[in-house]
Amino acid sequence: MTQSDKAQIDQKQISLLWAGPETANEIAQIQIQMQDLNWGEDEIRTLLANPCSNSLLVKIRLNPENPPLTAGYIMGRLIGEEVEILAIGVLEPFQKFGLGRSLVEGLTRAAKRAEAKKMFLEVACDNEPALSLYSKLGFEETGRRQDYYKRADGTKVDAVTMTRTF
Protein backbone atom coordinates (compact mmCIF):
# COMPACT_ATOMS: atom_id res chain seq x y z
CA MET A 1 0.00 0.00 0.00
CA THR A 2 1.43 3.38 -1.02
CA GLN A 3 1.02 6.81 0.55
CA SER A 4 -1.37 7.77 -2.25
CA ASP A 5 -3.50 4.68 -1.47
CA LYS A 6 -3.56 5.82 2.16
CA ALA A 7 -4.70 9.28 1.20
CA GLN A 8 -7.55 7.82 -0.84
CA ILE A 9 -9.17 5.58 1.80
CA ASP A 10 -12.69 6.65 2.65
CA GLN A 11 -15.61 5.05 4.45
CA LYS A 12 -17.19 3.75 1.21
CA GLN A 13 -14.21 1.43 0.73
CA ILE A 14 -14.55 -0.09 4.18
CA SER A 15 -16.85 -2.96 5.13
CA LEU A 16 -17.42 -4.89 8.33
CA LEU A 17 -18.16 -8.60 8.02
CA TRP A 18 -19.19 -11.16 10.55
CA ALA A 19 -16.20 -13.38 11.43
CA GLY A 20 -17.24 -17.01 11.63
CA PRO A 21 -14.93 -20.02 12.09
CA GLU A 22 -14.16 -20.04 8.35
CA THR A 23 -12.24 -16.77 8.86
CA ALA A 24 -9.86 -18.22 11.47
CA ASN A 25 -6.99 -18.37 8.98
CA GLU A 26 -7.38 -14.67 8.08
CA ILE A 27 -7.27 -13.64 11.74
CA ALA A 28 -4.34 -15.95 12.46
CA GLN A 29 -2.44 -14.36 9.55
CA ILE A 30 -3.11 -10.87 10.89
CA GLN A 31 -1.86 -11.88 14.33
CA ILE A 32 1.31 -13.32 12.79
CA GLN A 33 1.92 -10.18 10.72
CA MET A 34 1.35 -7.92 13.72
CA GLN A 35 3.60 -9.98 16.00
CA ASP A 36 1.23 -9.03 18.78
CA LEU A 37 -0.75 -12.15 19.63
CA ASN A 38 -0.23 -15.62 18.19
CA TRP A 39 -3.11 -17.77 19.31
CA GLY A 40 -2.88 -20.19 16.40
CA GLU A 41 -5.53 -20.91 13.82
CA ASP A 42 -7.10 -23.84 15.69
CA GLU A 43 -7.64 -21.85 18.89
CA ILE A 44 -9.07 -18.93 16.92
CA ARG A 45 -11.41 -21.28 15.02
CA THR A 46 -12.64 -22.77 18.31
CA LEU A 47 -13.33 -19.30 19.73
CA LEU A 48 -15.14 -18.19 16.57
CA ALA A 49 -17.22 -21.39 16.45
CA ASN A 50 -18.48 -20.84 19.98
CA PRO A 51 -22.09 -19.57 19.97
CA CYS A 52 -20.97 -16.78 22.35
CA SER A 53 -18.59 -15.36 19.73
CA ASN A 54 -19.26 -11.81 18.50
CA SER A 55 -16.44 -11.16 16.08
CA LEU A 56 -15.88 -9.03 12.99
CA LEU A 57 -13.41 -8.50 10.16
CA VAL A 58 -12.82 -5.15 8.53
CA LYS A 59 -12.08 -5.18 4.82
CA ILE A 60 -10.83 -2.45 2.52
CA ARG A 61 -11.32 -2.32 -1.23
CA LEU A 62 -8.50 -0.13 -2.48
CA ASN A 63 -9.70 -0.27 -6.09
CA PRO A 64 -12.69 -1.85 -7.83
CA GLU A 65 -10.57 -4.28 -9.88
CA ASN A 66 -9.07 -6.05 -6.88
CA PRO A 67 -10.76 -8.08 -4.15
CA PRO A 68 -11.01 -6.40 -0.74
CA LEU A 69 -8.10 -6.81 1.67
CA THR A 70 -8.62 -7.92 5.23
CA ALA A 71 -7.20 -5.06 7.29
CA GLY A 72 -8.20 -5.96 10.83
CA TYR A 73 -10.42 -7.89 13.20
CA ILE A 74 -12.12 -7.79 16.55
CA MET A 75 -12.98 -10.86 18.59
CA GLY A 76 -15.62 -10.58 21.29
CA ARG A 77 -17.53 -12.95 23.52
CA LEU A 78 -21.07 -12.34 24.74
CA ILE A 79 -21.95 -14.03 28.01
CA GLY A 80 -25.24 -13.06 29.61
CA GLU A 81 -25.47 -9.27 29.46
CA GLU A 82 -21.72 -8.73 29.14
CA VAL A 83 -19.47 -8.59 26.10
CA GLU A 84 -15.74 -9.04 26.49
CA ILE A 85 -13.37 -7.82 23.80
CA LEU A 86 -10.83 -10.63 23.59
CA ALA A 87 -8.62 -9.13 20.87
CA ILE A 88 -8.51 -6.36 18.30
CA GLY A 89 -5.91 -5.62 15.67
CA VAL A 90 -5.54 -3.43 12.60
CA LEU A 91 -2.59 -4.05 10.27
CA GLU A 92 -0.03 -1.26 10.49
CA PRO A 93 -0.51 0.20 6.97
CA PHE A 94 -4.22 0.59 7.68
CA GLN A 95 -3.93 2.07 11.17
CA LYS A 96 -5.15 5.57 12.03
CA PHE A 97 -7.90 5.54 9.40
CA GLY A 98 -10.74 4.89 11.82
CA LEU A 99 -10.84 1.10 11.34
CA GLY A 100 -10.23 0.31 15.03
CA ARG A 101 -13.06 2.66 15.94
CA SER A 102 -15.33 1.05 13.29
CA LEU A 103 -14.59 -2.42 14.67
CA VAL A 104 -15.44 -1.45 18.27
CA GLU A 105 -18.55 0.42 17.15
CA GLY A 106 -19.63 -2.54 14.99
CA LEU A 107 -19.24 -4.91 17.91
CA THR A 108 -21.16 -2.45 20.08
CA ARG A 109 -24.08 -2.46 17.65
CA ALA A 110 -24.16 -6.27 17.67
CA ALA A 111 -23.93 -6.30 21.47
CA LYS A 112 -26.82 -3.87 21.84
CA ARG A 113 -28.95 -5.92 19.47
CA ALA A 114 -28.26 -8.90 21.73
CA GLU A 115 -29.40 -6.71 24.67
CA ALA A 116 -25.97 -6.63 26.30
CA LYS A 117 -25.61 -4.02 29.03
CA LYS A 118 -21.86 -3.86 29.42
CA MET A 119 -18.66 -4.23 27.41
CA PHE A 120 -15.22 -4.73 28.93
CA LEU A 121 -11.64 -5.61 28.06
CA GLU A 122 -8.12 -5.73 29.40
CA VAL A 123 -5.29 -3.72 27.89
CA ALA A 124 -1.64 -3.18 28.79
CA CYS A 125 -1.25 0.07 30.73
CA ASP A 126 1.40 1.32 28.27
CA ASN A 127 -0.64 0.67 25.10
CA GLU A 128 -1.40 4.32 24.34
CA PRO A 129 -3.20 3.82 21.00
CA ALA A 130 -5.60 1.26 22.49
CA LEU A 131 -6.15 3.22 25.73
CA SER A 132 -6.92 6.32 23.69
CA LEU A 133 -9.27 4.44 21.34
CA TYR A 134 -11.27 2.94 24.21
CA SER A 135 -11.40 6.20 26.19
CA LYS A 136 -12.76 8.04 23.17
CA LEU A 137 -15.48 5.40 22.84
CA GLY A 138 -16.61 5.85 26.42
CA PHE A 139 -14.73 3.09 28.23
CA GLU A 140 -13.47 3.88 31.72
CA GLU A 141 -10.82 2.23 33.84
CA THR A 142 -12.51 -0.07 36.36
CA GLY A 143 -9.62 -2.18 37.58
CA ARG A 144 -5.94 -2.98 37.33
CA ARG A 145 -3.96 -6.18 37.58
CA GLN A 146 -0.41 -5.52 38.61
CA ASP A 147 2.37 -7.03 36.46
CA TYR A 148 -0.19 -9.04 34.49
CA TYR A 149 1.57 -9.05 31.10
CA LYS A 150 5.10 -10.37 30.75
CA ARG A 151 7.07 -9.01 27.80
CA ALA A 152 9.66 -10.94 25.78
CA ASP A 153 12.42 -8.93 27.49
CA GLY A 154 11.14 -10.04 30.90
CA THR A 155 9.57 -6.72 31.93
CA LYS A 156 6.11 -6.82 33.45
CA VAL A 157 3.26 -4.46 32.68
CA ASP A 158 -0.04 -3.87 34.46
CA ALA A 159 -3.31 -4.79 32.78
CA VAL A 160 -6.01 -2.14 32.91
CA THR A 161 -9.62 -3.30 32.88
CA MET A 162 -11.83 -0.89 30.94
CA THR A 163 -15.61 -1.00 31.00
CA ARG A 164 -18.42 0.72 29.20
CA THR A 165 -22.08 0.36 30.11
CA PHE A 166 -24.88 0.90 27.62
Ligand X SMILES: CC(C)(COP(=O)(O)OP(=O)(O)OC[C@H]1O[C@@H](n2cnc3c(N)ncnc32)[C@H](O)[C@@H]1OP(=O)(O)O)[C@@H](O)C(=O)NCCC(=O)NCCS
Query: DSSP string covering 1-48, please?
Result: --HHHHHH--GGGEEEEE--GGGHHHHHHHHHHHTS----HHHHHHHH
Q: Output the smallest distance, CB 147 to ligand X, in A.
A: 17
- Pick between residue 115 and residue 155 the one whose CB is nearest to ligand X: 155
Specify the stretch interacting with ligand X by CB under 6 A; choose among 7-15, 16-24, 99-107, 140-148: 99-107
Task: Please tell me the distance from the alpha carbon of residue 91 to that of residue 161, in angstroms, as a whole number.
Answer: 24
Coil, helix or strand at residue 51 = coil
Specify the stretch interacting with ligand X by CB under 6 A; choose among 21-29, 86-94, 107-115, 146-154: 86-94
Task: Check binding of 132 to ligand X (CB under 6 A).
Answer: yes
Among 48, 89, 159, 160, interactor with ligand X by CB under 6 A: 89
Chain positions 12 to 41 lying near ligand X, rule: CB under 6 A, are 36
Coil, helix or strand at residue 105 = helix
Task: Please tell me the distance from the alpha carbon of residue 165 to that of residue 80, in angstroms, as a whole number.
Answer: 14
Task: Please tell me the distance from the alpha carbon of residue 58 to that of residue 96, in angstroms, as a whole number.
Answer: 14
**Neighbour tally for 10: CB within 10 Å:** 9
- Using CB under 6 A as the binding criterion, the count of chain residues that bind ligand X stands at 20
Among 56, 57, 133, 160, interactor with ligand X by CB under 6 A: 133
Angstrom CA distances, 25 to 3, 22, 84, 94, 163, stand at: 28, 7, 22, 19, 29
Task: Check binding of 150 to ligand X (CB under 6 A).
Answer: no
Specify the stretch interacting with ligand X by CB under 6 A; choose among 10-18, 96-104, 109-117, 150-158: 96-104
Residue number with the smallest Cβ distance to ligand X: 100
Residues forming contacts to ligand X in the complex (CB under 6 A) are 36, 88-90, 95-101, 121, 123, 127-130, 132-133, 136
